[in-house]
Structure 1
Amino acid sequence: MITFFKSLPFHIKTAMNSIRRNLGNAVSSVFAVTVTLILIMLFAVVALNVSGFTVNIEDNVQIFARVDNINDNHEQLQEQIEDIAHVDKVVYSDADEQLEKVMSNGEGLVSIENENPLPAAFYIDVDQGKNVEAVTDKIESMDGIMDASYGGDTITEMINSFNSLRVYGGIFVGIISLLSVFLISNTIRVNIFSRRNEIAIMRNVGASNWFIKVPFLIEGMFIGIIGSIVPILVTIFGYGFLYDSLGGQFFTAMFKLRAPMPFVMQISGVLLGVGVIVGLVGSFISINKHLKWKR
């Protein structure tokens, strides 16, 4: 370990010289990493915000259950609903309150005020959005309940669309990442070929496999780090600008965007880590494939 740290400046210098000698290939690899990380950044920003949208939608879904007019014991009915698994809160609203809500949401309804046709209702909150459909079915099957609803297929389709976006976006980013690994691997392979005489001399004087391989790994890591600079800057400044421009929400308050801090720093850390990993993996693959030494 001590030997490794003593030789580290030499490895870094060797890696930098290799990048300088093969600048064209290095630039193409950096560009590939940059494009990959920008796509990853866009995917991460969209996916994490969409995840927040989904949670917000699910948490704000409320079941609306209308009470049968022949039922005059709402307290007992409320207790039965509260005993259902995953039910957090039940609020009773009598017929008069229901009429007031209808009146407040529209005009031209004054004529029905003296003869209220609306039934009483319960507003039910559930612990998790995924349990809403099951709880709705149980409430609807109870005696004394006319019907129960929560938004049904519309909300389910919206949540499924968000989930599909995350899945297919992840697959696309994965494919682009593999392309970056391939380009970095090609860059390292060219560098190995250009240094084949130097490598042969190092082997003849007893240099270990790892001593020869480390500069190439560092070179791949440098390519990854350099390629992550632009995506990180775009993340920090671009997301902050987008957040301020949209007022912290996407059209409605239900679709609240994540606050820039510490969100952009977390994304930046991921981008830097992915850049380093992509560079190391590309280098490692190329080294193992083209430097097959046996002692």
Structure 2
Amino acid sequence: MKRFNLRYYLKEGISNFFSHRLMSVAAITVIAACLLITSSFSLVAYNLGIQVADLETQSEIMLWVDETYTRPQAQALEEEIKQVDNVETVEFIPKEESLEDYKEQMGDDAYILEGLENDNPLRDGYRIVMKDVSLHQETVDALEKIDGIASTTSKKEFSDKLVKMRSVVNAISYTLIAMLGAVSIFIISNTVKLAMFARREEIAIMRMVGATNHFIRSPFIVEGLVLGEIAALVAFGLEWLLYDYIAEGVVGSTGLMEMVAFPQFALPLLLLMLAAGLVLGSGGSVLTIRKFLKV
């Protein structure tokens, strides 16, 4: 692209932006609002995802070793357990440790268990953490097939609730992104259409004297890009303020959940917003130009 043409496209695109200030401001406001809502819900989903991942580590499967197995035999099962698909971590729990845990849980009534150290009725066991809680039942079935595993205990209902929670959050996020993206493209399309209508006579003359389609389209694409990028920067600034307010003022005071500090993902979020502004701005412009000019 020639340097002269590039300067011309930028000059005309920015000129179009200022020629319809009210419409441009309205477009930026709506697009920024769409990006803000989308990013806010995405960050909520992101933080919930971290919380769900943390809860998933609590969705454990306990394996109890056959009581006829000696300690070395029980410990030898670890390698076979690790070979089961979807097993993330394996921790051997000797029956002595289980007995001490029971004593702590019973509190003042722990004296009932006194004297069982030499005749411990409990079994050695393993604590299993899964990679994917949605495969809970399949994992339990595979573990129960291992020789030497007498029984298993787990909270399948808890795992099912985690899977449903994750699915609902993801579904709402994707739906909002699609809907608000469509609204943003519609707004940019109408803004560019207004600029093209105001310059319809000039565009007609340009086509008559042989101006290329690319030459005619480019300034309007630049206008759409300017609208999208400004809206992205505005949305990013507002998102930072809103996120810090919620993290410190609301969630921080209630202690409902821990939220990731904004600076930890500020740069990736900014780049994503700028990319979204780029796509929405150019997409809205191109759709309008093709329909309006038929070129």
Q: TM-score category by the smaller chain?
A: 0.7 to 0.9
For residue 15 of structure 1, what is the aligned residue in structure 2? 13
Following superposition, the deviation at residue 18 of structure 1 comes to 1.8
State how 1:83-122 maps to structure 2 within 5 Å.
83-84=80-81, 85-86=83-84, 87=87, 88-94=89-95, 96-107=96-107, 108-115=109-116, 118-122=121-125
1:272 matched to 2:260 = no
Contact 2:65 2:148 in 1 (8 A): yes
Deviation per residue, 1:91-135 (Å, 9 max, x gap): 1311x3222111112322312323577512312335623455433
Contact 2:228 2:278 in 1 (8 A): yes
Q: 2:131 aligns with which of 107, 115, 128?
A: 128
Q: 1:205 aligns with which of 197, 203, 209?
A: 209
Counterparts in 2 of 1:75 and 1:117: CA distance versus 1, 3 Å: closer
For residue 226 of structure 2, what is the aligned residue in structure 1? 222
Following superposition, the deviation at residue 37 of structure 1 comes to 0.5
Q: Measure, in 2, the Cα distance between the counterparts of 1:237 and 1:89.
A: 43
Following superposition, the deviation at residue 33 of structure 1 comes to 0.8
Counterparts in 2 of 1:234 and 1:194: CA distance versus 1, 3 Å: same
Structure 2 segments unaligned to the other structure (5+ residues): none
1:64 alignment partner, SS class: strand
Following superposition, the deviation at residue 216 of structure 1 comes to 0.4
Deviation per residue, 1:192-217 (Å, 9 max, x gap): 11101111122223221111111100
Deviation per residue, 1:122-157 (Å, 9 max, x gap): 123356234554333233345554431232221231
- Length, aligned pairs only: 286
Counterparts in 2 of 1:250 and 1:125: CA distance versus 1, 3 Å: farther
* Cα RMSD (Å): 2.8
Q: Measure, in 1, the Cα distance between the counterparts of 2:112 and 2:270.
A: 61
Following superposition, the deviation at residue 83 of structure 1 comes to 0.8
1:164 matched to 2:145 = no
Q: 1:80 aligns with which of 77, 80, 84?
A: 77
Following superposition, the deviation at residue 59 of structure 1 comes to 4.2
Following superposition, the deviation at residue 218 of structure 1 comes to 0.5
Q: 2:287 aligns with which of 273, 277, 285?
A: 285
Q: 1:25 aligns with which of 23, 26, 35?
A: 23
1:181 matched to 2:185 = yes
Following superposition, the deviation at residue 165 of structure 1 comes to 0.8
Q: Measure, in 2, the Cα distance between the counterparts of 1:40 and 1:166.
A: 12
1:258 alignment partner, SS class: coil
Q: TM-score, normalised by structure 2?
A: 0.84
Contact 1:43 1:170 in 2 (8 A): no
Q: Measure, in 1, the Cα distance between the counterparts of 2:14 and 2:198.
A: 14
2:203 alignment partner, SS class: helix
Counterparts in 2 of 1:234 and 1:47: CA distance versus 1, 3 Å: same
One-letter amino acid of the counterpart of residue 110, structure 2: L
Higher alpha-carbon deviation: 279-288 or 36-45: 36-45
Structure 1 segments unaligned to the other structure (5+ residues): none
Following superposition, the deviation at residue 258 of structure 1 comes to 3.3
Counterparts in 2 of 1:38 and 1:204: CA distance versus 1, 3 Å: same
Counterparts in 2 of 1:264 and 1:12: CA distance versus 1, 3 Å: same
Q: Measure, in 2, the Cα distance between the counterparts of 1:226 and 1:261.
A: 21
For residue 243 of structure 2, what is the aligned residue in structure 1? 239
Higher alpha-carbon deviation: 37-46 or 51-60: 51-60
Q: Measure, in 1, the Cα distance between the counterparts of 2:170 and 2:144.
A: 33
